[in-house]
Chain A
Amino acid sequence: MTGPKEHKVKSLAELPQALEPARDLWPGIEAALKTQVPAAGTGLSPARVRLGQLRWFAAAAMVASVAVGVWIGRDLVPLSGPAPSVAQATAPRVTPAQGANAVDAAFVSDPRYARQRAELLQSLQTRLDAMPEPARAKVTASLATIETAKKDLESALGKDPSNALLQELLINTYQDEMRALTDVHEASDPGRGI
């Protein structure tokens, strides 16, 4: 069935150059963004806040797109042995930079990555306690170094979300964190070694 106003398109030239939505969608999008990150009290203009948000969303999208790549790389240092079962997370955790939460959230979207990382972090303190004191201090410092590196990279990506160099280094750092956590986990597993 065809309506009375419908006609067959015979060439591309007959198609409109652009299609406008039936109504202006932007107010709804803007309202949703304001709900997620209230601009009040930041001292920034709404346009500037929106630009900042869009940067972080771009960064989050970028990191999400490479999360699969990280997971593939993660396979280079596979976990082995039983999963730790301690219930409380005790890892040294640096507070992420403003906006980095979006990046983290995107990154840990792979549930396997998130689950294994959480398991390793939960048992970290126990594993560190099993190490000789000088080793414990050095390893704790190294894990803090990784946290700082992640924070610095995420912060830099916030300014330049499409920077391929920073993306690669961030992926490397996430992989190195998993490798270090896995090494610590296995190193303190009696009779296994690393």
Chain B
Amino acid sequence: MRISIKLSAALLALSAAPLALAEKAFDKEVAAEERGVVEVSNTSGMVEISGWDRHAVSVHGELDEGVERVDVTSEAGRTLIKVVLPEHSRHGEARLHIKIPKDSELHLTTVSADATVSGVNGAQRVNAVSGDVTTEIAAGNLELKTVSGDVKIKGHGQPAQLRVTTVSGDVHLEHGGGDLETTTVSGTLVVSLDTARSVHARTTSGDMHFDARMTRGSSFEASTVSGDLNVRASAEGGYAYEVSTFSGDISDCFGGAKAEKGIIGHSMSGSRGEGAGHMRLKTMSGDVQLCDRT
């Protein structure tokens, strides 16, 4: 019995050895321009990208046996980092830790790999299928698209063009600024904006929560079919508001405003402050809450 146990343990150890050996490390560094473009693509695993002060791109990776290689090239201001899988395979995992010049423009594409970006000031274009994306933004524009991946964006209130779309992924944006255009089918939108000029938001069934400080003369439009819409937005110079719903309820913190109930549907309109900006909120069956105290 004892011999049998020892034999089993030895066999187990032998079978585990190839798994441990399967993971291989990858390291490469190439020179890069201060404000060049860095393109990264990885199918599955993880990508962590951070900005640094050096004019170089550094890649450290842990690759499983399904990965054929990692290509890293830099030419004419464009650095490419691509995880290459064998033809007709989509199952190799790579965990990449990448440092890029902090003012680079970043183009990142993943399938199921989760991605984290921090300290990159340039524009970002991020595409993912099911991978989650967490990114920190500065004044650079952001175009971020996922299918089912969740999105977390942390800004610093600097104005930028932000365009975020998902099919089913949730979107969390903190301290955004500038112009936001966001669309999701069933994801939830939770957004805080420090200095927004314009907001266009749309969902089919996802709920929306906004906490926004808008600039003077700003515009805010949000619509959903069946999601609830909760907006707390203040604006320098106030705003004129129009809220309409087919079968949802409307509530506000304005005190005097009354939602009008028509034969079909409810609507509410009015003005806060000077009415310099515009606020339009629409739902079919979702409830709407509007408040100008953030």
Binding site for B on A (CB under 8 A): 130-132, 134-135, 138-139, 141-143, 145-146, 148-149, 152-153, 156, 159-160, 163, 165-166, 168-169, 172-173, 176, 179-180, 183-184, 187-188, 190, 193-194
Contacts and interface: CB of A to CB of B under 8 A. Distances in A.
A180 B284 contact: no
Contacts of A153: 225, 284
A190 B90 contact: yes
7 tightest A-B contacts by CB? Answer: A135-B130, A193-B109, A138-B148, A135-B148, A138-B168, A142-B168, A149-B225
Contact of B204 (A145, A166, A184, A187): A145
A135 to B, nearest CB: 3
B154 to A, nearest CB: 22
B223 to A, nearest CB: 6
A156 B109 CA distance: 40
**Interface residues of B: mostly helix, strand, loop or mixed?**
loop
A18 to B, nearest CB: 32
Nearest to A137: B148
A165 B168 contact: no
A87 to B, nearest CB: 23
Contacts of A183: 145, 147, 165, 167
**Interface residue tally on B, bucketed by range:** 35 or more
Given A163-B246, A179-B183, A169 B148 contact: no
Nearest to B169: A138
B107 to A, nearest CB: 9
Task: Tell which of B185, B204, B246, B264 has the most Cβ of chain A within 10 Å.
Answer: B185
B282 A168 contact: yes
B147 A194 contact: yes
B168 A139 contact: yes
Given A131-B147, A132-B112, A153-B225, A188 B129 contact: yes
A194 B167 CA distance: 12
23 contacts: A131-B147, A134-B148, A135-B148, A141-B168, A142-B185, A145-B185, A149-B204, A149-B205, A152-B285, A166-B284, A172-B225, A176-B185, A176-B204, A179-B183, A180-B167, A183-B147, A184-B147, A187-B111, A187-B147, A193-B109, A193-B110, A193-B129, A194-B146
Given A165-B282, A169-B282, A131 B264 contact: no
A165 B223 CA distance: 10
Given A163-B265, A165-B265, A172 B112 contact: no
Contacts of A149: 204-205, 225-226, 284
B145 A194 contact: yes
A149 B285 CA distance: 10
Contacts of B230: none
Contact of A131 (B130, B145, B223, B246): B130
Contacts of A138: 130, 148, 167-169, 186
Contacts of B149: 135
B207 to A, nearest CB: 13
Contacts of A135: 112, 129-130, 147-149
Interface in B231-255: 244-247
Contacts of B111: 132, 187, 193
Contacts of A173: 204, 225
B141 interface: no
Contacts of B147: 131, 135, 139, 183-184, 187, 194
A142 B245 CA distance: 22
A142 to B, nearest CB: 4
A59 B256 CA distance: 37
Contact of B284 (A130, A145, A156): A156
Contact of B185 (A146, A152, A160): A146
B148 A172 contact: no
B195 interface: no
Task: Tell which of B41, B127, B145, B284 has the most Cβ of chain A within 10 Å.
Answer: B284
Interface string B133-174: 000000000000111110000000000000001011100000
